[in-house]
Structure 1
Amino acid sequence: MGPPFWSALLWLGVAGATLAWSAATNATRSPSTSISGGFIIECESNQKCELVAKATVECGGTVRFTFKSDDFIGISGRLHNSTTKEDKEAFLSQFDGIKNKWMNLRAYQIPEIKAEEPWHVKPKRVVQADKGKRDKLEKSSVMVLNSREHQGFHIRRAKNDKRFERQWHHLITHVDKLHKEGFTGSGIKIAVIDSGVDYHLPALGGCFGRDCRVTVSEDFINDGPPDEPDCLIHGTAVASVLASNSRVAGYTGVAPNATIMSYRVVNCGGYATNDQMIAGWIRAKEDGAQIIVSSAGFVQGWAQSPEALVVARIVVSGVPCIVAHGNDRSKGLFHGRSPGSGRGVTSVGAFAFRETKVRRNGVRPVVVTGSDVGRAMTRALSSSKPVTVRARGLGQSEAGRIAGFLSYGPTWDLDIKPNVGSPGQSIPVLQPGEIYSYASGTSFAAPFLAGVFALVAEARGTFNPVTLNSLIMSTAEPQTTENGYFVSVAQQGGGLVKAWEAAHATTLVEPAALAFNDTDNRVSPISLRITNTAKAEVTYRLSNLAATTLYTFRGGSSLNPLSSDAADAQADIKLSQSSITIGAGQSATLDVSAADPKGLDAARLDLWSGWISIRGSDGTNLTVPYLGLGGSLRSAEVLASYARDASANNAAFILPRPPNGQTPSLYNQTTHPQGAVRVSAVTVHLGLVLGSPYLRVDVVPVDICSASPLIGRKGASTTTISDLSRACVRESIVTEFAGVKSIGQLPGYPQNYAMPGEVNLHWSGFLASGRYAPPGRYRIVARALSIMGDAANWTHWQTVRSPIFSISYDDNLFLTGDQPSEGEPSDPLYMGY
């Protein structure tokens, strides 16, 4: 096991600027920082970890967290005098009983949060407005909020905007029906892993402690004012969607009587580390949380990251865990979030309210009908009486549409993510001062779904994650585009959640989803078990609902693979039975098999999906999502190969003098080749088309010899001046990996569980080992393990190489003739096969 990739970033699922804050517009990717000397390990026992912890402190290091739970025994720490991977590996190799290790401990930061005044909030305070003032405010579409503890604030609405008072998100998901039946999450303990919760707000109870709404407020950061439990506001907004209960505002969360447990893992600057996340999740379970939700996550679509691994184990132990899926639609397929990428963890997508405009300015609506209907309508209209027309469509009277920012799944091992969706656009949220505002992002879809989990658990008397996931996914409603095509399962999972239907379903299905994998690893058939818990026999009719098939790669551009290009074909789904009758309290099993769509370009990796529709004679209407991929992920291109520029070959660079007195050269002076350029670093451009379980970037010498010759400019033996073009690297410092001879890797490599993207690698001559490369001629060679590849099989690795270039250093440069030109980091050298 290993560290997350360089692009693994902390992410809080806020989309756009609809809330009273927004992300900086110029931030396309949040910064991440590797904590020098940091590591996370999992041990076989507490005793094994105690030995590592003791040795860490004895060598001047720090133990950050000690984990002693049933789900994860381990520690995180820093070795202040061991900053390279090699140093940390050497230290940890002294100990047995280490099950897993992640050699990078990272701090992640969300984009800068800027406070702003949203269009619907008027910050002026209104102190107990009298009736006359209230009437005046109401006429101007302003709601007055008052409380005994706080002065009132008021919210401005757009004209005819009924979203706030209608709580549209409760209506389209049938949460309102469960509220009317008395299900409000009473007594259910829900943990929020986020930036904290402001329990001072009356809508969240106004206090903290045993008899309050917020009973736990753990802080794993301790950087904010002691009387300010949420300096970032985000966690408070999340908690309000989940469990706000404001009599003054007339607004309630999904589970307004639930008990909130707050675990602060994101600091005032928006930073968090993966060990802080792990600590928060573990503590929440230990404190007795019955449901855990987090809208903070990492750009990491792998199930093997440490936080995803821990949360998946918490689910196995019996606690439902809900995580926001992400707001990165533009990045295309395979961009789920960790820990939502963990097995069994519920990843949540976001829906918006679907508004269908019947009339636009200057446009009249047209309805196309058959001639018989046309004649009947003409006769009716000619009677001069009111005419009522009943239109039959897809039957989605309370439909939602996919939020425009929602990320695509699935995970890299083709597990279905997101699992289900809930409202996440234009959601009323609570802010400091008892102000309600609208917000968008899967950050707010996740607590909504956590509230639904609570209501369904209350109604059915179970917190079993497998049962709840199955109920909520199978009763969800798959959504279509405005053109009537079903949106891919890779973006909506089971569909839009329907809370009342999940609470009262009498038919259970298992598994909750069918993952058929890719062509090389096809799982088919898959058995689907249907259980009738009703008191009477039910006959079920089964059919296939195919969703839009998506290509992974855009045609003609492998470096922009994150495609939403639709393919006009669906998988061939076969059911062993299209109809089945099951007695009361009985179960039956049928097989579902799948074959890839025909006529598609397998090299573009077509991602196909849909649902198995199950309709019962008792009115049951369930769906089970399925997903698979045509083509081979293992054989797909992982590393980008760029067209070679012949002029880039044999480029010569002069690098700055190494610090700390290091002298990588054996020579007192070195002549520079003609045309050498002074640069601060050699830049090599690396592109990952897809993710990779393992990525290494090696510095490969072109010239290797058993002992470094001391060759002068005229061929005479000397220890003073070396002709760089004839220098070679000593064989004693060279190692070999998969047939490639290397003097070491670039700092920060190797990387485990990489995400796709492009990066300019700036190399100053410094190696991950802590040494500097000697002057000479080199290539940078990147190698990536294919998805689903076998690391021991070298044919499962892909390799790209930079052009040959030479380096020397300012400390031993012998200047003759023209002076080398000055420069910043060099222009990129592009890598190819």
Structure 2
Amino acid sequence: MRITRRVLAVAAASLVALAVPAATTPAAADEAPDQCTFPDKPYKGQPWSLQRVLLDELWKHATGKGVRVAVIDTGVDVKNRQLTQAVDTESGRNLLPKNLKDENGNKIERGKENGTTDSVGHGTKVAGIIAARPMKGTGFVGLAPEATIIPIQQNDAEGHGTAETLADAIRYATGPARADVISISQDTANAVEPTAELKQAVDEALAKKVVVVASAGNDGLGGHVKKTYPASYEEVLAVASSDRNNERAAFSQSGEFVDVAAPGVDMISTVPGGGHCSDNGTSFSAPYVTGVVALLKEKRPTWTPRQINAQIMQTAERPTTGHDRLVGWGVVDPVRALSEADKPIEQPVPGNDTAGQANPPSAIPLPLGETAQARATRLGTYVVVGSSVLVAVIAGGAVAVRDARRRARGEQGATS
């Protein structure tokens, strides 16, 4: 059962698609202009996703200190100065096969054994949203700026990861790596549940009181509703994407399994080598919530995964009085999740106390030197393989999504 990846853009910082499962390599997607390079320019302002949070108030409660977060992804590049001190390089691992080859049979450089090689850039972005350290010259910072990142490289641009190696990564995270939280920005395709070994690994993690956060997936255009895994597993915190208006991003997967939503459009984060760039997808919503989980783990270390998940869902900014299949219990409210963490609860309850409280910031220019035309063509990462390739962009404060089709040879895959 193969997790397929395909480079979508021209540059080394090209966007990728990841899928579980797929028997063959998917065909290439429409190419996007080079909007992100490794390294890239620093983002000098404060991203909109952080403007919606009173960070000083948030960090009065916790900063993530002492909390270990496993990022199971494409690796985390520690050459970015905001991540150098955030990453536990001794605990990191590269779980990719020893003899890597591309679809043409050419040898691929495997990277460092400690998981600190990231030629794709995806894992580095995920890690930054969680725990990037403050740095002069940029308003970007992780939501849990004192948490520790454990880089577990389990996939690459050529799709050498499998559902089995994902299970291995989870077991390594909860065993030798001593993770408190696991962040997974991967999902399955066509509502196909993967090998039982993956669920077993997730259940083992939960039994050890490790919180597992997973992206819901990006096959939401047109109202598609289907389960994705591991997000659909019981007690995994499934995260959808929201836009600046606290509404579901058009690409974001819908379903009853969605627990909560978080910003996922024009997400600024760290890139390999240094600097920042912008990206889209539930892949970047999941680490946003992971950062809040890390803060709660510091503040309430005895709480179970169920209790931490319930706290985040209960305090979210709700569009309705109860659960909604588009954004779950609502858009995560980091400050409220921490400030109201007095007594543990086992599950969220319906109520209108949070409905209508969303007060998103006005639109600001986010892309790093993009023209309006370039911005309108930028691809979100982890788009759908064999289905819709989604582009989520901001134009005049609203999100526009264009749908491009691409073909896949063999089985189809979905991504996050």
Structure 2 distance, partners of 1:192, 1:122, is 22
How high is the TM-score relative to the length of structure 1?
0.37
Report the Cα distance in structure 2 between the residues aligned to 1:122 and 1:280, rounded to whole angstroms: 28
Alpha-carbon distance between aligned partners in 2 of 1:246 and 1:110, rounded to the nearest angstrom = 40
Residue 234 of structure 1: which of 119, 122, 144 is its match? 122
Task: Note closer, same or farther for the CA distance 1:276–1:249 as it changes in structure 2 (3 Å cut).
Answer: farther
**CA distance, structure 1, for counterparts of residue 33 and residue 328 of structure 2:** 34
Give the match for residue 336 of structure 1. 227
- The answer as to whether partners of 2:80 and 2:275 remain within 8 angstroms in 1 is no
Matched ranges for 1:638-787 at <5 A: none
Matched, 1:220 2:119: no
Select which of 436, 445, 452 maps to 2:292. 452
Give the AA of the match of 2:46.
R
Displacement after TM superposition at 1:463 (Å): 4.5
* Letter aligned with residue 161 of structure 2: A
What is the Cα deviation at residue 294 of structure 1?
0.8
Asked whether the 8 Å contact 1:122–1:155 carries over to 2, the reply is no
1:418 paired to 2:250: no
Query: Where in structure 2 are the equivalents of 1:371-382 lying within 5 Å?
Result: none
- What is the Cα deviation at residue 256 of structure 1? 1.4
**How many residues are paired up?**
342
Contact (CA 8 Å) 1:349, 1:422: kept in 2 or not? yes
The residue that corresponds to 1:256 in the other structure is 145
Matched, 1:409 2:255: yes
1:167 deviation in Å?
A: 3.0
Q: Displacement, 1:114?
A: 6.2
The separation in 2 between residues aligned to 1:246 and 1:503, in whole angstroms, is: 20
**C-alpha deviation, 1:511, in angstroms:** 2.7
Which residue identity does 1:501 align to in structure 2?
R
Whichever structure has more strand as a proportion of its residues is 1
Q: Does 1:267 align with 2:147?
A: no
SS in 1 for 2:295: helix
Give me the whole-angstrom Cα distance separating, in 2, the residues matched to 1:467 and 1:21: 38
- Report the AA paired with residue 178 of structure 1: L
Letter paired with 2:247: R
Could you tell me which amino acid in structure 2 is paired with residue 190 of structure 1? V
Partner of 2:362: none
| Structure 2 unmatched ranges of 5 or more | 101-108, 357-407, 411-416
SS at match of 2:278: strand
Instruction: Tell me whether 1:290 sits opposite 2:188 in the alignment.
Output: no
Which residue does the alignment assign to 2:348? 512
Quickly say closer, same or farther: Cα 1:304–1:272, change in 2 above 3 A.
closer
1:304 to partner: Cα distance: 7.0
Q: Secondary structure at the match of 2:276?
A: strand
Q: Distance in 1 between matches of 2:203 and 2:173?
A: 14
- Which residue is 2:326 aligned to? 491
* Distance in structure 2 (CA, Å) of the matches to 1:242 and 1:475: 19
Note if contact 1:189-1:259 (Cα within 8 Å) is conserved in structure 2: yes
Q: 1:246 to 1:351 in 2, by over 3 A?
A: same
Q: Would the alpha carbon gap of residues 170 and 456 (structure 1) be closer, same or farther in structure 2, given more than 3 Å must change?
A: farther
Q: 1:305, CA displacement in angstroms?
A: 4.3
Cα distance change, pair 331–32 in 1 and its aligned pair in 2 (3 A): farther
User: Cα 1:459–1:111, aligned 2, differ >3 Å: closer, same or farther?
Assistant: farther
- Residue 432 in structure 1 maps to residue 320 in structure 2: no
Aligned-partner Cα distance in 2 for 1:11–1:429: 21
Shift of 1:429: 1.3
Please state if 1:502 is matched with 2:381. no
Distance 2:89 2:72 in 1: 13
Letter in 2 for 1:267: D
Q: CA deviation at 1:284?
A: 0.4
8 Å Cα contact 1:31/1:110 also seen in 2: no
Partner of 1:281: 170
Tell me, yes or no, if the aligned pair for 1:329 and 1:404 is still in contact at 8 Å. yes
Query: CA 1:16 to 1:458, structure 2 compared with 1: closer, same or farther past 3 Å?
Result: farther
The answer as to 2:14 corresponding to 1:21 is: yes
Root-mean-square deviation (Å): 3.8
Partner of 2:58: 178
Compared CA separation, residues 270 and 463, structure 1 to 2 (3 A): farther
* Offset of residue 326 of structure 1: 0.6
Q: Distance in 2 between matches of 1:115 and 1:452?
A: 32
Residue 427 of structure 1: how far off its partner (Å): 0.9
Q: Which amino acid aligns with 1:465?
A: P
1:239-282 deviation line (CA, Å, top 9, x unaligned): 11111114134321111111111111103413321111111011
Contact 2:253 2:326 in 1 (8 A): yes
User: Is the 1:421–1:497 Cα contact (8 Å) retained in structure 2?
Assistant: yes
Query: Do 1:22 and 1:113's aligned partners in 2 also have CA atoms closer than 8 Å?
Result: no
What corresponds to 1:767 in structure 2? none
How has the CA–CA distance of structure 1 residues 352 and 16 changed in structure 2, closer, same or farther, with 3 Å as cutoff?
farther
Q: Provide the C-alpha distance between the structure 2 equivalents of 1:291 and 1:255, rounded to a whole number of angstroms.
A: 12
Deviation string for 1:597-635 (max 9, x for gaps)? xxxxxxxxxxxxxxx2165xxxxx599xxxxxxxxxxxx
Q: TM-score, normalised by structure 2?
A: 0.71
Tell me which residue corresponds to 1:526: none
Which residue identity is paired with 1:167? P
In structure 2, relative to structure 1, the CA distance for the partners of 1:109 and 1:273 (3 Å cut) is farther
Pick closer, same or farther for the CA change 1:406–1:242 going to 2, 3 Å: same
Question: 2:76 is matched by which residue type in structure 1?
Answer: V
CA contact (8 A) 2:77 2:273 kept: no
Specify the alignment match of 1:658 in structure 2: none
**Aligned-partner residue type, residue 324 of structure 2:** V
Matched residue type, 1:154: K
Match of 1:165 in 2: 45
Q: Which amino acid aligns with 2:52?
A: I
Alpha carbons 2:68, 2:148 under 8 Å: kept: yes
List per-residue Cα deviations over 1:645-703 (Å, max 9, x = no partner): xxxxxxxxxxxxxxxxxxxxxxxxxxxxxxxxxxxxxxxxxxxxxxxxxxxxxxxxxxx
Taking the aligned partners of 1:20 and 1:176, their CA distance within structure 2 comes to 33
**Which residue identity lines up with residue 220 of structure 1 in the other structure?**
L
Q: Which residue of 2 aligns with 1:154?
A: 41
Q: Which has the higher contact order (CA 8 A, sep 6+)?
A: 2
Between the aligned partners of 1:108 and 1:405, the Cα distance in structure 2 is: 23
What letter matches 2:255 in structure 1?
Answer: G
Deviations 1:508-527 (A, max 9, x none): 543336xxxxxxxxxxxxxx
